[in-house]
Amino acid sequence: MNDLHGKRIVLGLTGGIACYKAAELCRSLVKAGVQVQVVMTEAAAQFITPVTMQALSGQPVYTSQWDSREGNNMAHINLSREADAILIAPASADFMAKLIHGKADELLSLMCLARPLQTVPLILAPAMNREMWAHPATQRNVAQLNADGSLVLGVGQGDQACGETGDGRMLEADEIVEALEAFWTPKVMSGQHVLITAGPTYEAIDPVRGITNLSSGKMGFAIARAAQHAGAQVTLIAGPVSLPTPRNVKRLNVRSALEMHQAVQQTVSDASIFIAAAAVADWRPASSAEQKIKKDGSGETPSLNFVENPDILASVAQNARAQKGELFCVGFAAESHDLLAHATAKRVRKGVPLLVGNIGPSTFGQDDNALLLVDAQGAKELPRDTKTRLAHQLIQNIARRLSSV
């Protein structure tokens, strides 16, 4: 993973109401350990003050190419030489039009033109009215900026400040931060299609009751995000959890083990890697009542009969593509004790090359975890860390295995 800690980013603001979101973005970047140097156009300063951005970034803000604070009076050169990237957020339609022509009539565009092309990437988060965004001129400019080596992020969809609804909102601060993390993550999974199951399943007893477990889905979602950042195409089959979908990940929601099994069967033929992180219920009630089961006042309790759910991982591991080595299968083991012994036996029982053991009760719902990677050669510990970082380590580990076959 590439966390942003220690990165130096020049955050450029151009004129648009989305400048209010740049304040939150600046705060999030600083919180992530980024050194933020803000540069604002005159138009941006109509929407938000340099004082606000100075307070949030902890650095004096630059607004003019004639800023005499610079010893050599060359802010447009000095600012980008120290930077790991220039991020323009919001990037107005007008500013993008200027960039493609190499116009440089104020500090921010001058700095973009003067940046070392090979070492200082230019990333833009556009924000504008939906008609302006859809206009062929803007779309042409976006394509040209990408062709010139910049990275133009997408836009959000929804209500706009002008009262209209559509595409053109600036991405939210956390989405931009995630896009930056993805940008700097080595693309070790490029060309792979990763299918991941995550979260618990829910087995209905009647329309209002059911049996589930304490899996939060956080580990599986973190793996989906890490795989996407590493360049994979990712499909995430999620049990009932309320986590946000990682950017650029295709999510299919399911409830029961049978639904999860069906969704996996329908999608696995496109996958090159299958990671079963879901805590699938082993059994389901033999029948689910169509109406709520009522107490009849006699004090008698209803008896439940169970049937076993299909083992999704084991059945995928037995399929022809997995057997031929075209589909790399990774299982998880949620145990409460004797992790090494249970995980080792489970790997063989499931017929998978790699099984990831963890202690369920000490990680369900938490933001951190500790993993034990078990393969035919033995076991390797990934010590306790955030699920985000562990997910990146796991993805790198899988990529190494695939590149060495």
Per rule CB under 6 A, is residue 333 in the interface with ligand CTP? yes
**CB of 122 or CB of 276, closer to ligand CTP:** 276
In the bound complex, what is the minimum distance in angstroms from residue 196's beta carbon to ligand CTP?
Answer: 10
Closest CB to ligand CTP among residues 248, 315: 315
Among 331, 387, 391, 392, binds ligand CTP (CB under 6 A): 331
Give the whole-angstrom CA distance, residue 342 versus residue 323: 23
Asked if 280 and 309 count as a contact pair (C-beta separation under 8 A), the reply is: yes
Residue 391 touching ligand CTP (CB under 6 A):
no
Least distance between ligand CTP and beta carbon 130 (Å) = 42
> Given the rule CB under 6 A, which of 7-15, 116-124, 159-167, 332-340 is the region that contacts ligand CTP?
332-340
Of 193 and 346, nearer to ligand CTP (C-beta) is 346
- Helix 173-183 / helix 218-229 crossing angle, nearest 10 deg: 60
Cβ(257)–Cβ(312) under 8 Å? yes
The tokens for 351 are: 């017929």
- What is 27-39 written as a DSSP string? HHHHHTT-EEEEE
Among residues 309, 344, 369, 388, which is the contact residue for ligand CTP, using CB under 6 A? Answer: 309
User: In terms of CB distance, is 25 or 322 closer to ligand CTP?
Assistant: 322
If one asks whether residue 276 binds ligand CTP (CB under 6 A), the answer comes out as: yes
Tell me the window of 67-75, 79-87, 174-182, 307-315 that interacts with ligand CTP (CB under 6 A).
307-315
Query: How many other CB atoms are found less than 10 A from the CB of residue 149?
Result: 10
The CA–CA distances, whole Å, from 283 to 200, 255, 316, 388 equal 13, 14, 19, 30
Q: Output the smallest distance, CB 119 to ligand CTP, in A.
A: 42
Count CA atoms within 13 Å of residue 381 on its CB side. 8
CA distance 329 to 128: 44
- Could you confirm whether 162 is annotated as catalytic? yes
Q: Say if residues 63 and 38 touch (Cβ distance below 8 Å).
A: no
Residue 109, sorted as left (phi over 0), alpha (psi -120 to 50) or beta, turns out to be alpha
Query: Interior CA angle at 301 toward 299 and 307, to 5°?
Result: 175
- Kindly state the tokens that stand for 46: 């109509």
Which of 19, 112, 162, 329 is catalytic? The answer is 162
Stretch 182-201 residues interacting with ligand CTP (CB under 6 A): 197
Spell out the residues 6+ positions from residue 63 whose beta carbon is closer than 8 angstroms to its own. 39, 40, 41, 42, 45, 50, 107
Q: By CB under 6 A, name the one of 313, 327, 394, 398 that touches ligand CTP.
A: 313
Q: Which string of x and - marks every residue 195-234 that binds ligand CTP (by CB under 6 A)? A: --x-------------------------------------
Contact range with ligand CTP by CB under 6 A, out of 13-21, 100-108, 171-179, 272-280:
272-280
- Identify which of 66, 76, 87 has the alpha carbon closest to the alpha carbon of residue 9: 87
CB of 289 to ligand CTP, least distance (A): 23
Region from 126-134, 176-184, 271-279, 365-373 binding ligand CTP, contact rule CB under 6 A:
271-279
Please report how close the Cβ of residue 255 comes to ligand CTP at its closest, in angstroms: 14
Active site residues: 162
Residues that bind ligand CTP (CB under 6 A): 197, 257, 276, 278-280, 282, 309, 311-313, 331-334, 346, 350
